[in-house]
Amino acid sequence: MNMDPVLTETERLLLNCIQDGFPIEGRPFAALAARLSRGNGVNLSEDEVIGLVRRLKERGYIRRLGAIFNSRPLGYMSTLCAAKVPEDRLEDFGKRVSAAPQVTHNYVRANPLNVWFTFCYAFPGELQGFLASLRRETGIEEIFELSSERIFKIRAVFNFP
């Protein structure tokens, strides 16, 4: 993954556009191209938008495109987990965590519990099975479940000026 820190103006506009109000329709990339072309001085085709998204994903700016649902009314549970991972094992541990489709967030923090991730699941034993497998595969034993007492939903949209 190449995290080239330089984004073009068009890439910045696209990132701003896709993270807030991704079109739910038959040809969403055509709709994005039309939205970007209005008032931004950008003239992109549907294929060009698809190519830009693909390149941004290859460069590591986009991990996935998908909806975020309120999991509880749909019968899912979500748990924040934290792990104590040695610095030299962060990359491998992070890749293993991120490979699980149930993981919605995975990040490093400046804390003794330095890897935090959110695991969304449908069955009570699913989280314990994942954590047991993760401990076995990585040898990292200090992985903690941090159950929520109260839920705060925030709207996280990052502006790329």
CA distance 56 to 39: 23
Tell whether the model's pLDDT for residue 127 goes beyond 50. Answer: yes
Domain boundaries, the chain: 9-58, 72-146
Going by pLDDT thresholds of 50, 70 and 90, the confidence category of residue 96 is very high
Q: Which residues contact 79 (CB under 8 A, 6 or more apart)?
A: 118, 119, 121, 127, 145, 146, 147, 148
H or E segment to which residue 57 belongs? helix 46-58
Rg (Cα) of the chain, in Å, rounded? 18
Least confident of 10-14, 61-65, 97-101: 61-65
Q: Give me the CATH topology for the region 72-146.
A: Alpha-Beta Plaits (3.30.70)
Rounded to two decimals, the pTM is 0.66
Q: Residue 64: name the closest of 103, 117, 118 by CA.
A: 103
